[in-house]
Amino acid sequence: MNGIMFGVMAVGVVILIVGFAMSRREAAPTVVEERMERYAEAGQAIATAEPSRPRERSSPLGERLNQLVQGRGFAGRIAADLAQADMKFTVGEYLALMAICAAGGVLLGIVGTALPDCLSSRIGPIGCLATRQYTDSTVAAIAGGLIGLFAPRTYVGFQRGARLQKFDNQLGDTLNLLVNSLRSGYSIMQAMEAVGKEQPPPISVEFKRIVQEMQLGLPMEQALDNLLRRIRSEDLDLVVTAINVQREVGGNLAEILDVISFTIRERVRIKGEIRVLTSQGMATGYAITGLPVGLGLLLFFVNRPYIMQFFSPENNTPVPCGWIMIVLGLILIAIGYAIIQKIVSIEV
Co-location of 41 and 188 in the same domain: no
Distance CA 80, CA 38 (A): 25
Residue 272 domain-assigned? no
Last residue of a domain, one of 236, 266, 296: 266
- The one-letter code for the residue type at 53 is R
Contacts of 216 (CB under 8 A, 6+ apart): 36, 39, 40
Strands, DSSP E only, in the chain?
none
The answer on pLDDT for 192 being more than 50 is yes
Co-location of 239 and 295 in the same domain: no
Co-location of 77 and 97 in the same domain: yes
Contacts of 251 (CB under 8 A, 6+ apart): 245
Cβ atoms of residues 66 and 91 within 8 Å: yes
Whether the CA torsion 64, 68, 70, 75 is positive or negative: it is negative
Co-location of 64 and 158 in the same domain: yes
> For residue 88, what are the domain limits?
2-163
Give residue 2's pLDDT band: very low, low, confident or very high (50, 70, 90). very low
Residue 273 domain-assigned? no
Co-location of 13 and 130 in the same domain: yes
Q: What is the pLDDT of residues 97-129, one digit of tens each?
A: 888 888 888 888 777 776 666 655 555 555 555
Comparing 346 with 19, which gets the higher pLDDT?
Answer: 346
Co-location of 147 and 23 in the same domain: yes
CATH label of the domain that carries residue 194:
1.20.81
Average of pLDDT values for 285-294?
86
Q: What is the CA radius of gyration of the chain?
A: 27
Closest Cα to residue 203, out of 212, 214, 216, 192? 192
Distance CA 117, CA 109 (A): 13
Co-location of 149 and 171 in the same domain: no
**Considering the entire predicted model, what is its pTM?**
0.65
Distance CA 226, CA 240 (A): 11
Give residue 173's pLDDT band: very low, low, confident or very high (50, 70, 90). confident
User: DSSP character for 53?
Assistant: P
- The one-letter code for the residue type at 309 is Q
Q: Which of 19-23, 210-214, 305-309, 344-348 has the highest mean pLDDT?
A: 210-214
Co-location of 20 and 138 in the same domain: yes
